[in-house]
């Protein structure tokens, strides 16, 4: 079994339950930041069960999402149907996703992955000049908390690494914050996160 099929199976198992494991509401930071922007085209990599994609569609955004989990897509489509929206949701990976489209915004919400630097470089290429990346993910300090997230340090975010990944951006605000998470059963309790808003 390859590394990526192992990842997919693990996520499919988690998503097989009826419950939306991160809830049906969008991530709070993503919600706040998106509402400051004029709707256009948005890309949501590693979108999971669709909470952020459906919120964006309801706000008038033209949404493209992808995730490597088949179960994630199935549940995202159910959520979209519940509110009468259609989203372009593809089964794909950071490694293989490609498009000729250029996006106004990219939302990276808990999109933890092993090839961070390479994937961030690739995603930046899909962003229009002046486009915005909104990111929230667990910080390295999250290893001290039990409110969710990967347990391996290389999958956790650091402010310095993100600064370096997006150093060519015209504006970059990145910080670590301790917050109280309440996103389903898997992001629950006090947590240390990194938040970023970057303009290309
Ligand atoms: C913590 S969940 C976050 C889901 C969603 N962004 C949210 O906030 O609700 C991480 C997601 O990354 C996806 N994933 C993991 N590795 C991936 C990869 N290499 N390419 C695409 N998706 C991946 C998983 O299937 C999972 O849905």
Residue nearest to atom 6 of ligand 1 (CA): 47
Task: Flag whether pLDDT at 146 surpasses 60.
Answer: yes
Residue nearest to atom 10 of ligand 1 (CA): 111
Any idea how long the chain is? 200
pLDDT value of residue 114: 86
Task: Quote the number of domains for the chain.
Answer: 1
Contacts of 120 (CB under 8 A, 6+ apart): 162, 165, 166
Q: State how far the Cα of 152 lies from the Cα of 86, in Å rounded to an integer.
A: 35
Backbone angles phi, psi at 94, to 5 degrees: -55, -40
What spacing in Å lies between the alpha carbon of 187 and ligand 1's midpoint?
14
Structural domain of 48? 3-12+21-199
Average pLDDT along the chain = 95
- Banded pLDDT at 9 (limits 50, 70, 90): confident
Per cent of the chain over pLDDT 90 is 94
Given a contact cutoff of 8 angstroms between Cβ atoms, the answer to whether 13 and 118 are in contact is: no
The residue to mutate among 91, 94, 111, having the most atoms of ligand 1 within 8 angstroms of its beta carbon, is 111
CATH number, position 27: 3.40.50.150
| Strands, E assignment, 21-74 | 41-45, 62-67
| pTM for this model (two decimals) | 0.95
Q: State how far the Cα of 29 lies from the Cα of 39, in Å rounded to an integer.
A: 17
For 25-52, write each residue's pLDDT tens digit.
999 999 999 999 999 999 999 999 999 9
pLDDT value of residue 44: 98
CB of 47 within 6 A of ligand 1: the answer is yes
User: In 59-133, which ranges are continuous DSSP H helix?
Assistant: 70-82, 116-125
- Banded pLDDT at 127 (limits 50, 70, 90): very high
């Amino acid at each position: 079994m390859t590394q990526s099929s192992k990842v997919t199976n693990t996520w499919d198992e988690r998503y097989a339950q009826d419950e939306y494991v991160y809830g049906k509401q969008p991530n709070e930071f993503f919600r706040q930041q998106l509402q400051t922007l004029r709707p256009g085209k948005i890309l949501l990599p590693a979108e999971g069960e669709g909470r952020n994609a459906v919120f964006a569609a309801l706000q008038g955004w033209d949404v493209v999402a992808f995730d490597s989990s088949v179960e994630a897509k199935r549940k995202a489509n159910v959520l979209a149907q519940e509110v009468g929206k259609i989203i372009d949701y593809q089964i794909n990976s950071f490694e293989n996703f490609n498009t000729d489209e250029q996006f106004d915004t990219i939302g990276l919400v808990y999109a933890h992955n092993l090839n961070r630097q390479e994937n961030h470089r690739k995603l930046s290429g899909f962003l229009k000049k002046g486009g915005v990346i909104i990111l929230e993910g667990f910080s390295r300090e999250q290893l001290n908390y039990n409110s969710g997230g990967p347990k391996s340090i290389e999958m956790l975010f650091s402010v310095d690494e993100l600064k370096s990944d997006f150093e060519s951006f015209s504006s970059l605000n990145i910080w670590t914050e301790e917050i109280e998470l309440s996103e389903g059963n898997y992001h629950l309790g006090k947590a240390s996160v990194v938040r970023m808003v970057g303009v290309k």
